[in-house]
Amino acid sequence: MAQLLRGSVWIGRCLGIRVGIHPSWLLVFALVVWMLTNSFADLGGEHALALAVVTALAFFGSVVVHEFAHALVARRFGVATLSIRLFLFGGVATIATEPPSPGAEAAIAFAGPLCSAVLAGACGLGLEIVGHLGGEPHLALLLMALAAANAVLAAFNLLPAFPMDGGRILRATVWRLRGDHAAATRLSSLAGMGFALALGLMGVGLAWHTHRWEPLWYLALGGFISIATIQSYQQACCKTAVGGSEAASQRKPAA
């Protein structure tokens, strides 16, 4: 994963954690802006584009907040976070060591989706308030899009596919039940590979039936998850073998 994200541009440091952007993020940012501009087309060209840019920036900001939720809970368990980066498939927090216990791993993994769900709820509440006040339609559209995007982010990341958050919760559960970290990593990695394969096949199938290119995004996402699964599995095995502190990662596909 570190090799895939080589070339990231560091934009600052927050709570002692470096925050950066990989150039590939510009591609997904442009894609999201394009999709949102189409969604907001009723507003008219320039207004639609401006609101799309603001909404996309706010969404990727909430992806970074999701990553910080992982990082802050990790810190409580004595696990340092080296960096948080945005890239083609969302956000990634790189932690210095594997979590020390199943409970720690589950708590760290769950923190991100919980944070996204809270953000979705807050945006939904804000939308209600704006509606009651007879407020600004642009703000209502922004809040509606953010509520939906954060809800999807929370739900998607809870899918039990290692190394996504749900896959890490699965690994923590198996680790706790069997007391075998390596076996838990193998099982959750298999689930991750199965999910990646299913996602890729779904993308190809949808593209075939709809004669559109957009579903091929799922194929790319499946490919990325399979690479991430293999690399995370190798890192976990290496750590187990040497008893060292191989870097581990948490990933948040955003679309």
Query: Residues with catalytic annotation?
Result: 67
Residue 92 contacts residue 85 (beta carbons within 8 Å): yes
Q: Label residue 179 exposed, middle or buried (CB < 10 Å: 0-12, 13-18, 19+).
A: exposed
Candidate residues 20, 102, 112, 160; the one interacting with Zn ion per rule CB under 5 A: 112
Query: For Zn ion, which is the closer residue by CB, 156 or 218?
Result: 156
Report the site for Zn ion in 157-186 (rule: CB under 5 A): 157, 165
By beta-carbon proximity to Zn ion, the closer residue of 90 and 222 is 90
Q: In terms of CB distance, is 105 or 165 closer to Zn ion?
A: 165
The secondary structure of residue 245, as a DSSP letter, is: -
Among 168, 171, 239, 252, the residue binding Zn ion under the rule CB under 5 A is 252
Pick the closest to residue 17 from 87, 80, 92, 90 (CA basis). Answer: 80
By C-alpha distance, which of 176, 179, 186, 187 is closest to 102? Answer: 176
Q: Which residues contact 117 (CB under 8 A, 6 or more apart)?
A: 150, 151, 154
* Shortest Å, Cβ 134 to Zn ion: 36
Q: Which is nearer to Zn ion, 39 or 231 (CB)?
A: 231
Residue 90 touches Zn ion, criterion: CB under 5 A: no
β-partners of residue 248 are 95
Q: State the nearest-atom distance from the C-beta of 2 to Zn ion, in Å.
A: 18
Minimum CB distance to Zn ion, residue 154 (Å): 9
